[in-house]
Copies of this chain bind each other. A is one copy, B any other.
Amino acid sequence: MAARQSAILLIGCPDAKGLVASVSGFLYEHGANILSADEHRDDASERFFMRIEWDLADFELDDAAFRSAFRNRVAERFHMDWRVEYSHKPLRVAVFVSRYLHCLADLLHRHKTGELAADIRLIVSNHEDAQRHAGFYGIPFEYIPLQPDRKAEAESRQLALLAEHGIDLVVLARYMQVLSPEFVARHAGRIINVHHSFLPAFSGAKPYHAAFERGVKLIGATAHYVTEILDDGPIIDQEVIRVSHRDQLEELIEKGRDAERMVLSRAVRWHLQHRVLLCGKKTVIFD
């Protein structure tokens, strides 16, 4: 079953008649057997979103031929934003982490069990704590310390590494540093962060402390794409866990880790499976 190779086409465009017919007609003509398809019309923006996955077994077009033919015959006509991905070409991923290692350990374990179909190329950290985990799972580790007055230098080093490895996705697994606007711009829509609160509540620093002060009865975590504005990017997934008056700050942090792990791993999995589309400041999740 794992041997089946499939292509995934992701489309966003102004709504118009004939979209589904044109796309599915084009695929049919070239021998595609559709495995699944999802469509969504966003009423507010009047845009149409589509994710179609087909078996490559009898498909007649290779990647280059598909891109050329699809662009000319379908995509331009409907003014589509589109991309095609392949199940046998897993994304190349870099995980950034600081000193809290629970999300990293969780991602690496899921990767090992086969839950996360990714090519994790490197782990980057401003601390050395994660090195043993990296070694245990056989992933290259890059220690890039962040001295306050030399952040630009460190970021250059990070960007060089991402370029060198052809990284498709950066996962901030409790990476406690703010990325520069330049960094974000160069990897727009390809950086996923986990914030340890139910956004937009408790954005910024020390959300568990703030939640504890406020006396909330549920604590949360949010996985989102990183944009220039802190904790403001499109939300991919959120999770909450019940707490009570018996839970002190320490227990909030402990319980919160479970929400963080769940939400980040789900968001990363959806991204790796090409199930997430951007719709303005929101996400469409074709799960």
Contact = CB atoms under 8 A, between A and B. Distances in A.
Nearest to A250: B1
A92 interface: no
A235 B37 CA distance: 24
B17 A20 contact: no
Interface string A220-251: 10000000000000111111100011101010
A75 B76 CA distance: 32
Contacts of A148: none
Interface in A1-35: 1, 15, 17-22, 24-25, 27-28, 31-35
A285 B244 contact: yes
A95 B102 CA distance: 20
A105 to B, nearest CB: 5
A208 interface: no
Interface residues of A, number: 69
Copies of this chain present in the complex amount to 4
Nearest to A114: B254
Interface stretch (A38-46, A77-85, A169-177): A38-46
Nearest to A49: B245
Contact of A28 (B18, B32, B287): B18
Given A240-B218, A282-B215, A36 B41 contact: yes
Which residue among A43, A220, A245, A248 has the maximum number of chain B CB atoms within 10 Å of its CB? Answer: A245
Contacts of A43: 248
Given A17-B28, A21-B28, A24-B25, A245 B40 contact: yes
Interface of A: 1, 15, 17-22, 24-25, 27-28, 31-43, 58, 102, 105-106, 109, 113, 115, 132, 136, 198-202, 213-218, 220, 234-240, 244-246, 248, 250, 254, 257-258, 262, 279, 281-285, 287
What 3 pairs across the A-B complex have the smallest Cβ distances?
A: A215-B282, A21-B28, A201-B201
